[in-house]
Amino acid sequence: MIILGVDPGTLITGFGIIEVEHGTYSVLSYDVVKNSGNESMPIRLKRIYDRLCEIINQYHPDEFAIETAFYGKNAQSALKIGHARGVSILAAVNHELPTAEYSPREVKKAVTGNGAASKQQVQFMVQSQLAIREAPKYFDATDALAVALCHSFRRSRSKLMPRRKGHTASRSHRSWTEFIHAHPERIAGKK
């Protein structure tokens, strides 16, 4: 299984391609699409789209995963990221790739175990998990690899954990107490 992960941005879009075979991960490629702030938005978006299409044609990924937009204090930034996400998703859909989206918090939690991890922590864990010797020049490339890893982890987890009747993936418990009452079999020492 080859997965293309993307960390979208209009100035820098990171991409990372991993291959997963029998639980073993290998990196096929990672880099960034770098745009100039002096270029118009349509030109930046075209460059992102064209480069992702080249990557898809070169590596033939089986699936595509992208980070969702982070809605911080700056609505204008979120809107621009939305544009980069749109052309990235369009490249995947035009190549008929199944597409998944993950929040930054989900990606960080999947890779580091902490949804509030720093970019440095994500980079360290990605390097460790994928045996990358030298840190990528841009965090965007590391983040894209983290998105691909997150997707792989979610895929394998959903295969390993069959759903029980009445159970949905989006269901969550409001507290540890509620979880313990619902799943006494998961408590150490209890049978």
Considering 31, 39, 63, 67, which one is annotated as catalytic? 67
Provide the phi-psi class of 34: left if phi over 0, else alpha when psi is between -120 and 50, else beta. beta
Which two structure tokens, joined as six digits, stand for 129? 């998990």
Residue 88 identity: S
Angle between the 41-59 and 75-94 helix axes, to the nearest 10 degrees? 40
Give the amino acid at 72.
G
Q: Tell me, yes or no, if 185 is annotated catalytic.
A: no
Catalytically annotated residue among 7, 31, 63, 143: 7
Write out the E strands in the chain.
Answer: 2-7, 12-21, 24-34, 63-67, 99-102
Q: List C-alpha distances in Å: 117 to 104, 149, 187.
A: 10, 15, 28
Catalytic residue among 63, 101, 134, 140: 140
Whole-angstrom distance, CA of residue 70 vs CA of residue 90: 19
Active site annotation includes 140: yes
Measured at the alpha carbon of residue 40, what is the angle toward residues 39 and 41, in degrees to the nearest 5?
Answer: 120
62 an active-site residue?
A: no
User: Is there a contact between 17 and 28 (Cβ–Cβ < 8 Å)?
Assistant: yes
> Helix, strand, coil proportions of the chain in percent (round to 5)?
50, 20, 35
Q: Which residues are catalytic?
A: 7, 67, 140
